Amino acid sequence: MTTVPTVAVDDLPAGAAVLDVRENDEWTAGHAPDARHVPMSQLTGRMADVPDGDPLYVICRSGGRSAQVVAYLNQQGHTSVNVEGGMQAWAARGRAVVADGGGTPEIV
């Protein structure tokens, strides 16, 4: 297994470019306010939608899918880092979470 660069939620720099690779229902339920959304299942067809970031911080629910995306992006020449613990860790550390449609945000 390839080791990917990882960062803890508390060590994310202010204004970091964040890519959320969870599926649409997960994103709608709750996501980081400034994140860009490209589901992992659509990534290869939507590379133009991947935000610029040096590095780009990639997040999912718990860190597994985002680690796979980081490995792929880095093979493609991007500089990306996996957010350890994903949105579960993000929310647990008290970071802002918003839901589409104004509902109560949750991590599903």
Q: CATH classification of 6-102 is 3.40.250.10, yes or no?
A: yes
- Residue 90 is given by DSSP the state H
Q: Is the pLDDT of residue 1 over 60?
A: no
CA–CA gap between residue 23 and residue 38 (Å, rounded): 8
Q: Mark whether 35 is an active-site residue.
A: no
- Confidence label for 53 from pLDDT (cuts 50, 70 and 90): confident
Please compute the mean of the pLDDT values over residues 3-28 and round it to a whole number: 95
- pLDDT single digits (tens) 22-50: 999 999 999 999 999 999 999 999 999 99
Identify the burial level of 85 via C-beta atoms within 10 angstroms of its C-beta, where 0-12 means exposed, 13-18 middle and 19 or more buried.
buried
- pLDDT single digits (tens) 63-72: 999 999 999 9
Among residues 19, 29, 59, 60, which one is catalytic?
A: 60
Res 82: pLDDT: 98
pTM value?
Answer: 0.95
CA of residue 64 relative to chain centroid, distance: 11
Q: Is the pLDDT of residue 2 over 80?
A: no
